[in-house]
Structure 1
Amino acid sequence: MHFLKSVAACALMCSINNCSHNKEMIKPPVAEKRAHDVGMHGDKRNDEYYWLNGYFRKNADSTKVVKYLEAENEYRDGMLSDIRGLRDTLFNEMKARMKEDDQSVPVFHNGYYYYRRYEKGSEYPVICRKKDNLTSPEIVLLNINEMAEGFEYFECDNYEVSPDNKLLAFAVDTLSRRQFTLYIKNLETGEIYSDAMYPSAEAIAWANDSKHLFYISNNPETLLSEKVKRHAAGTPAADDEVVYKEKDKSNYLRLHKTTSDRFVMIRSEATLSAEMWFLDANKPLEQFKVLQPRIKDVLYDAVEQNGKFLILTNLDAKNFRLMEAPVDHPTQDNWKELIAHNPDVLIEDVHPFKNHFVVTQRKNGLVEMRIRNITTNEEHLLDFGEATYSAEAELNPEYNTTVFRYSFTSLRTPASEFDYDLNTKHKTLLKEQVVVGGYNKEDYITERLSATAPDGKKVPVSIVYKKGFKRDGTSPLWLVGYGAYGHSSDPYFSSTRLSLLDRGFAYAVAHIRGGEELGREWYEDGRLLKKKNTFTDFIAVAEFLIGEKFTSSDHLYTYGGSAGGLLIGAVVNMRP
């Protein structure tokens, strides 16, 4: 019996249309196999498709890779040719729900309101700002539609304005490989300096002199983040000095400036260890100092607040705890506990303000936001008001404020942004995602369910369906999962998903092990020698949904991307 069918979204649509045409005459292309050893540490491992990397390496196989991909596209078009009309209908239906001339909620920082807006018929945003108040004249910083002309792919998501508000550093990727070129624009003259920095990550941190900036330089062969460099605006990138070099190839580099604008921070992180370095942002020519040398199996991250580092760590705390240490003596022997370890609560992040900090934590698989007044030590939780949801901190660049901005969404609630007063506990809705043509969330039902894994663990399931959904085992259901790298698959709203729900589908998210929905142990129980739990959890969720009559084996469809693709590949082989 066919238990699961792994399909792309367009193939899902095919099932809706009861597509049953004979496609036996269309043969899929078969990729050539070549022996290639990619083993290490004395072990051999044969990757027969390694040659497909030739496209990116621009070697003799580049043309052959392109021809193979073109053959794949021809096969796809042939297999889906008889539902072209339905695909067009669905595309137009989904597009019609989107507000094309949309605008982000303005964010105030250092005297300006920053926002991005979309113009009707344009694919990319226009990045803008207004001085002092929102009635001031608009200043266009970057029109990405104009910048993208002539490119098949264009990404420009990250930018940073210098502290004196005169220079703009921004990152551009035209290859879709996360290899960015950094540029600097003079906001007074409009000139884009010639000192481009490539290949780089998109992270940028300005020193307080508004002349020097720091960025991550990637290895041009491995594409790994490898060095942090210091650049002086208006000088050749070839003159940039390396201020940090990572020797461990298993580590990735992160770079940011503290909300207080006091320090530039480097973070070197592996799966199970981390190390941070910091530099006074007022002294960009000095050397970075290590906060705490890396310790085996110890992760930590740090932000600065009023002369102290707030340090989130798993040292003697599987679900992490919050510590503090003076910036002059930040090593582990000076750490003082602020929030103790709780085996039922995973602490994920901390957001500092002058008189408060906000801790993002996870309990019973759901995000909580815990606010502490550092003067009175009083605490409270932010109330979200739904049974299954997703919430996260938004950009909060102002340090001396009592207003915290966050976003909220659920499987039936469109993405919303709020300002929350940390003292009065009053929240203000700033924006809710517009669904053009109208949308009433009361027409849809969300539930938080629980399936039992083979070892007895309870696996959370989030599900949504439209009122009137037939729970008799005949309805189609789309089940998704990920379960890797400690990434939690929080439920969120999608206007395109309505095209499934309105046609009688249910949509479910399996919160399987490998993610961190239920804490760090939930992640560790889904990796390495315990990775099989990820797969059996997903199968258990599928069996549970069938047993509860949400669907049947003939109408259950599964999806996973990236590490989720590994999940689906394993599941359809373990339980075909």
Structure 2
Amino acid sequence: MNAPNSTVPVPPLAARRPVVSHHHGDSRTDDYAWLRDPGYPDVRDPAILDYLKAENAYREAVMAPLAGLQAQLFQELKGRLKDDDSGVPVKRGPWFYSWRFDPEAQYCTHFRIPFEDGPDGAARTILDETALAGGLDYLRVRAVEPSPDHALLAYSADTDGSERFAIRVRDLATGEDLPDVIPDTSGATAWAADSRTLFYVRLDAQLRPSSVWRHRLGTPAEADAEVYREPDPGFGVSVGLGRDERHLFIAAGDHETSEVRFLPANAPETAPQLISARRTGRLYEAEHRDGVLWILTDDTHPNQRLVTAPAENPDAENWREEIAASDSVYLTGLHVFRDWMLIEEREDGVKHLRIRHFGAGGEHRIAFPEPAYAVRPAGNAAFDQAHLRIAYQSLVTPPTVWDYDVVTRERTVRKVQEIPSGYDASLYVSEREMAPSHDGALVPVTTVRRRDTPKDGSAPLYLYAYGSYGMNMDPGFGTARLSLLDRGFVFALANPRGGSELGKNWYEAGRLERKENTFHDVIAVARHLAAAGYARAGNMALAGGSAGGLMVGATINMAPELFRAAAAHVPFVDVLNTMLDETLWLTPGEYPEWGNPTESGEAYRRIAAYSPYDNVEAKDYPHLFVTGGLSDPRVTYWEPAKWVAKLRAAKTDGNLLLLRMNMGAGHGGKSGRYEALHEVAEEYAFMLTVFGPGFDPGA
């Protein structure tokens, strides 16, 4: 790993400062609790910063001999991105709106074109993210929302990765921002019909999206009116404008319970009307059409049903069933248009899009060309449109945008992601397998490899999984991944329990008291892939991020022998301590997912049994590449830092353990399309090196 005659870098060892806590008759010692700055999110403790800097310096020293490989990988990754890429214009009122990248630009430019000029007409810039980012280390723009009269643009920006967005409003005639600035928001915006009133979500001191506010242009943010405040510390709130633009919807909820309010967009000072009061364990969402609310809910079945209610009296006692719940089909999304609706649903682990016409038009599923794919509606802004815009991809098919005529069923390709350095899909093959888990459950896993990569166990394999919150990980394309595939790797995407790929029950079987099924499923997938000849045990990498990082940490505690390496991105690994800390904004809202170890001894013992940080042992671990973000509000920086410190002190192997702590970014890592590629190139250089023949980390 090091240049000839170079000195082997010495890893930093964090000081041990034991802190003993007592819960439910159990005493635990945490040697690295001091790595949490009591002033968080303002991290200034010199000892903490010095340790994080030392970890970064160690990683840089270890990786320095691989600078050439990293540079090569970066150029490969960059060469697969179209330098002047652009989106497909979306019609909104009298304009087409879209975005583009200028050559070498890190950030995109938003523009619009008069409808009468057609989508290829002369573009008029409305927001230049590159100009906004000037001099900043980080930028993320969330909202880019034109007002209903298209004279103004509301936009929001986070400049440090903390996910605290400031909202501004731009006069599109002059290109100048109005004096209005609204700080500390979630970033989402919703216009009232008068184009002078803006709704937004304010973050509280714990960074929880806790209240909805109404801002009148030309007045100070301090004078804004509170529209709704959520009293439950475990609930977050959101606000948005319905597709028919007649109502604003305010939703409040956690992972298992929700309630929705709405108010007329043309009377923004009206008090919101509650659809149906929250009931623990019931989720619902709503859209409006012609005086009727269309509601997707799990009130009678985990896989949800579709009901309607009159907008003037929408309580649950007036809900009328339109589509019954099914044991085999999971309804996951609803989009209502003037003449038809789109229902997103899943069956046998595969996502489907169903078109259902109002009146006598019937319904049908859209057919897709591959058995395993990722698909979603994209850019469908007009209530009265007669087509559905779809974004489709698979492990071998680059992202493709279609316009689908919902009547004739004809599809028109609007864009296929261009890969300037070249890509031949025929060189790659994707396969879907079902891996039997410890209890007989069959776990989906989809693989992709070059056709000339042998399936005899000799190839290295990169296994990715998530498995929490019911989030679905469908098999999508990745240009970066080609750098591994073209060097002989197999890529595998597992769908363990905790996701909802196989329905809501698949999610329920991987949370709370059944959370360990997630880790057993990933272990089962790895063993199945080895038995099927994709790779041998011990010649695999395991990767995941956030709650997927928890999966990585728990899995390598349980079965480290299966993996040569692992990558844990912003990993949620200090689970027990985090779930015991109600001052963190996410903690109360996470109780439905993990349990409440403060109140429940059973939940405490259950989480303690798998929390990666609490189960680090004196044994051999794979090579590890770990990341974190100092500004991360979701997985706080001290989680990966403490985990790495404890692993470094406990593990008995000589394998590499590297921490990349982004000192100026949050949960998503660096911003900027090219800057982020450097981070991917670093991880891939790490992986390619530790999987190299005869690799010796101390050489």
* 2:546 corresponds to which of 562, 567, 572: 562
1:299 aligns with 2:254: no
* 2:492 corresponds to which of 486, 508, 515: 508
Task: Indicate conservation of the 8 Å contact 1:51/1:61, yes or no.
Answer: no
Change in Cα spacing, 1:42 to 1:184, as seen in structure 2 (3 Å) is farther
* 1:96 corresponds to which of 79, 89, 109: 79
Give the TM-score taking structure 1 as reference length. 0.93
Task: Indicate conservation of the 8 Å contact 1:387/1:447, yes or no.
Answer: no
- Give per-residue Cα distances to partners, 1:170-208, cap 9 Å, x unaligned: 001011011100011111222212221110011100000
Q: Give the Cα separation in 2 of the matches to 1:45 and 1:34.
A: 13
Q: Which residue is equivalent to 2:517?
A: 533
For structure 2, list consecutive stretches of 5 or more residues without a partner in the other structure.
561-699
* Alpha-carbon offset, residue 398 of structure 1: 0.1
Change in Cα spacing, 1:164 to 1:567, as seen in structure 2 (3 Å) is same
* Alpha-carbon offset, residue 39 of structure 1: 8.7
* 1:523 corresponds to which of 488, 507, 511: 507
1:70 aligns with 2:50: no
1:163 aligns with 2:148: yes
Q: Which residue is equivalent to 2:580?
A: none
1:183 aligns with 2:168: yes
The residue matched to 2:367 in structure 1 has which SS?
coil
For structure 1, list consecutive stretches of 5 or more residues without a partner in the other structure.
1-13
* Alpha-carbon offset, residue 35 of structure 1: 5.5
For 1:83-482, list aligned pairs within 5 A.
Answer: 83-132=66-115, 133-219=118-204, 221-376=205-360, 378-482=362-466
Task: Indicate conservation of the 8 Å contact 2:376/2:391, yes or no.
Answer: yes
Q: Which shifted more, 193-202 or 427-436? A: 193-202
* Alpha-carbon offset, residue 121 of structure 1: 1.0
Q: Give the Cα separation in 1 of the matches to 2:149 and 2:326.
A: 43
* Alpha-carbon offset, residue 317 of structure 1: 1.2
* Alpha-carbon offset, residue 24 of structure 1: 9.5
Change in Cα spacing, 1:266 to 1:431, as seen in structure 2 (3 Å) is same
Q: CA RMSD in A?
A: 2.1
Task: Indicate conservation of the 8 Å contact 1:99/1:434, yes or no.
Answer: yes
Q: Which shifted more, 54-63 or 362-371? A: 54-63
Q: Give the Cα separation in 2 of the matches to 1:406 and 1:382.
A: 10
Q: Give the Cα separation in 2 of the matches to 1:262 and 1:310.
A: 14
Amino acid at match of 1:93: E
Q: Give the Cα separation in 2 of the matches to 1:398 and 1:297.
A: 33
Task: Indicate conservation of the 8 Å contact 2:212/2:238, yes or no.
Answer: no
Q: Give the Cα separation in 1 of the matches to 2:238 and 2:19.
A: 33
Task: Indicate conservation of the 8 Å contact 2:142/2:188, yes or no.
Answer: no
* Alpha-carbon offset, residue 557 of structure 1: 0.9
Change in Cα spacing, 1:307 to 1:507, as seen in structure 2 (3 Å) is same
* Alpha-carbon offset, residue 28 of structure 1: 2.1
1:79 aligns with 2:62: yes
Q: Give the Cα separation in 2 of the matches to 1:167 and 1:38.
A: 54
Q: Give the Cα separation in 1 of the matches to 2:105 and 2:175.
A: 23
Task: Indicate conservation of the 8 Å contact 1:454/1:540, yes or no.
Answer: yes
Aligned length: 558
Change in Cα spacing, 1:309 to 1:26, as seen in structure 2 (3 Å) is same
Task: Indicate conservation of the 8 Å contact 1:324/1:335, yes or no.
Answer: yes
Amino acid at match of 2:390: Y
Amino acid at match of 2:135: G
Q: Give the Cα separation in 2 of the matches to 1:43 and 1:381.
A: 54
Task: Indicate conservation of the 8 Å contact 1:312/1:321, yes or no.
Answer: yes
Structure with higher RCO (Cα < 8 A, 6+ apart):
2
Amino acid at match of 2:122: P
Amino acid at match of 2:110: I
Give the TM-score taking structure 2 as reference length. 0.77
The residue matched to 2:414 in structure 1 has which SS?
strand
Change in Cα spacing, 1:277 to 1:454, as seen in structure 2 (3 Å) is same
Q: Give the Cα separation in 2 of the matches to 1:39 and 1:129.
A: 59
Task: Indicate conservation of the 8 Å contact 1:476/1:555, yes or no.
Answer: yes
* Alpha-carbon offset, residue 280 of structure 1: 0.3
Change in Cα spacing, 1:297 to 1:59, as seen in structure 2 (3 Å) is closer
Q: Give the Cα separation in 1 of the matches to 2:4 and 2:236.
A: 49
Change in Cα spacing, 1:58 to 1:401, as seen in structure 2 (3 Å) is closer
Q: Give the Cα separation in 1 of the matches to 2:337 and 2:537.
A: 51
Change in Cα spacing, 1:282 to 1:50, as seen in structure 2 (3 Å) is farther
Q: Give the Cα separation in 2 of the matches to 1:61 and 1:145.
A: 30
Q: Which residue is equivalent to 1:484?
A: 468
Change in Cα spacing, 1:186 to 1:42, as seen in structure 2 (3 Å) is farther
Amino acid at match of 1:371: I
Q: Give the Cα separation in 1 of the matches to 2:517 and 2:6.
A: 36
- Give per-residue Cα distances to partners, 1:376-416, cap 9 Å, x unaligned: 15111000110111001112110011111110000000001
Task: Indicate conservation of the 8 Å contact 1:480/1:510, yes or no.
Answer: yes
Change in Cα spacing, 1:468 to 1:167, as seen in structure 2 (3 Å) is same
